[in-house]
Amino acid sequence: MKIAVFQGRAEPTQIERNLGVIEVAAADAAERGAALLLTPELLPVGYAPRRIRGGISAGDVAEAHLKLEEIARTHRIALAYSLPGEEAPASRGITATLVDATGTRRAHYQKVHLFGEDEKAAFRSGMAPPPVVDLDGLQAGLAVCYDIEFPEIARAAATAGAQLLLVPTALAGDVPEIPQMLIPARALENRMTVAYANHVGVEDGLDFAGRSVVAGPDGGVLGAPDPGLLVVDVSAPTTPGPEEPWYLEDLRP
């Protein structure tokens, strides 16, 4: 299947504007034959944890989900996107959601590893391992940003059968080691494709360098948007994924 990775800039708390950006990307991706569009972490609300805590309500989040589902249905493309959790602001996490081309929710995940004091002040950590679901014959899993820097998270997805791991991210600063070395390593060691979608530009004083990437099961880079939209072909790996090690029991709810 073809997947698309979008790399773009959000305006913090400007949900309508940001959803418009996603819709344009979805239309472009669908026209180019992609069956799935992956967008960066918290793109619909912008990456500004403390402003989100005080300025984005549970109702705002619920409405954003509905509009993203509508975008998927309208353009007949699956979407993987990230929003604050649907709970009250004081008790929610950072989430990733996968909806199919009918707008039906297929998987939902709460980020386990929060990064930095701002995220820890605004959000709560998840406890469950990445979900893995069938999407058009490919087993797809979800993780969020900093999670991918911990090998156990990727391994949990792989041992659950993931052939494609979708990672919305908000990696501020120019940290080439993550997309250029770590993402391909995660793909290779787990024999799955890892798609990593980042912001680009300045949001709430943070400068995002982009460097979104898709790495295949052999660790080879399949492509990177510069900036904008990347469309690549993804297939099931020809070799089986890793066996489940004993320590993964610590990641189960």
pLDDT by residue, tens only, the chain of 253 residues: 999 999 999 999 999 999 999 999 999 999 999 999 999 999 999 999 999 999 999 999 999 999 999 999 999 999 999 999 999 999 999 999 999 999 999 999 999 999 999 999 999 999 999 999 999 999 999 999 999 999 999 999 999 999 999 999 999 999 999 999 999 999 999 999 999 999 999 999 999 999 999 999 999 999 988 778 999 999 887 766 666 554 455 554 4
Predicted pLDDT at 227: 74
> What's the distance, CA 33 to chain centroid?
20
Residue written as token pair 């602001």: 89
User: What pLDDT score does 246 carry?
Assistant: 45
The DSSP string of 46-99 is -S-HHHHHHH--HHHHHHHHHHHHHHHHHHT-EEEEEEE-SS-GGG--EEEEEE
Cα–Cα distance between 206 and 10 in angstroms, integer? Answer: 12
According to DSSP, residue 131 is labeled P
Token pair for 194: 């890892």
Strands 105-110 and 132-135, by their bridges, are unpaired
Q: What is the token pair recorded at 117?
A: 């004091």
Phi/psi of residue 195, nearest 5 degrees: -110, 130
| Domain 2-251 class in CATH | alpha beta
pTM, two decimals, is 0.94
Annotated catalytic residues are 41, 111, 145
Structure tokens at 70: 């509508």
Residue 245's pLDDT is what? 54
